[in-house]
Structure 1
Amino acid sequence: MPEFQMPVADSREWEKLDAFTQGFIEAAFFSETACFTMAEWFEPETQHAIAEGQSDGNIPSDCDTSHIHPDSLKEIAEFCAKFQADAAELLSRAYARDYDETQAGRDFYFTHTGAGVGYWDREILEPQGDEWEATEIPLDQWTPELRATRERLKAESIGELLTKAAGSGEVNPFFGDHVDYDDAPFVHFSIY
C-alpha cells in the first residue's frame, strides 16, 4: 500500500501549525478522503451515494489543506492545544522514547475517534522498566503520593494512559458552503 501523502496547498500556512496538529489533520484526511472530487461532490448521483453510505469519506479526494475552513482550522488547533496541555507530562515521556509529535497527533485523532489504532497500539509506549530511577528527587523526600504515582506509572503503559486522556468522541468533517465566506466550498469539522 502506498504511503499517504498529505495534500498541502500553502506550505507557509501549514508550517505555522505545530507538528501535533499537522498529524491530527493528516489522520483526518487519511481517514475521511472520499473517492469523489469537488467537481462531482454536489452532483445528484454523488449526493445520493453519500446519503446511502456508499462514499468512503466526507472529504473530496482533491481537497487539500487550503480547503479547511478557517473556523474549523482554529477549532482543530485549539482542540489539539488543549489536549497537549492536559497531557503534557505523558507526551513528554512519550517523546523521550523517540516517538514524535506528528505521530502523537495522528494517534490522538485515531484514539479519540475510536479507530483500530492509536496510543494503546504503539509498542514504543509500553512500559520500559522503571523510568523513575533517574529522578532528581532524593528518596528521603518521596511522599506517599509520589510513591503511588511511581508504582502506577510502572504498571501502566504510556499508551494506555494517553488513551484514557484522549477520551472518545467524534471528529466529523463535511464538505459544503459557508454563508459567511461567499459560496466557496470548504471542509468543515465538528469536534465532540
Structure 2
Amino acid sequence: MSNNPFAKLPEVASFKVTSNDIVEGLPLPPQQYSEMSGVEGGKDLSPHLKWSGAPEGTKSFAVTAYDPDAPTGSGLWHWAVINIPASVTELPTGAGDEHGSGLPQGALQLPNDLRLERFIGATPPAGHGPHRYYFVVHALDVEKIGVDPSATPALLGFTMLGHTLGRAVLVATGEIK
C-alpha cells in the first residue's frame, strides 16, 4: 500500500515500540475496534505500548494513532497524547479512556477526528479492504509541545515537525468484511 504518512517528513532517528496487545503487520484484536461506532466486540481500548532506545536529548513524548486508509481524503486520527514525560516509557492498555486514567501526570489527550479527547478504536467501512493503523511514539526535544488543548492531531503533527528527534512506529491492520 502507498500513502506512507512519514514519506515527506524529515528523516529522524528510529527507536523501538512494542505492545502486549498488537503485533506489527497483524490484524488488531477486537478490543482495539470501536464499540462506540457499533463494531461488534469492539471496546475502544487503546493498546499497551512500551518503547525503548529514544534518542539522547528527548525531553518528552507524544503518542498518536492514525489510519491513512480511511476514506476521507486525509485519513483519520484515532488518538493523540502530548506532554508525556521523558521518564515514561510505557502506557497500559486502556490508558486512552475518556478520563486518560492510564496516562502519566501532565500528559494530555487532544481531541481526535471525532472531536473526542480519548482513543477511538478502528472502524474501517465494511468491504473497504484492509486499513493500516499507525501507532507512533514521537521523541521530542521540548518538555511541552505547546499546542492548545483543543488542537487537532494534524496541527500537532505540524507543530512537532521541528521538535521530533525520533519516531517509534508500530503498524497493525484492520478490516471489516
Report the TM-score range of the alignment, normalised by the length of the smaller protein. under 0.3
Q: Greater relative contact order: 1 or 2 (C-alpha under 8 angstroms, separation 6 or more)?
A: 2
Q: TM-score, normalised by structure 1?
A: 0.21
Q: Which has the higher helix share?
A: 1
Task: Point out the structure with max Rg over C-alpha.
Answer: 1
**Structure having the larger proportion of residues in strand:** 2
Structure 2 length-normalised TM: 0.22
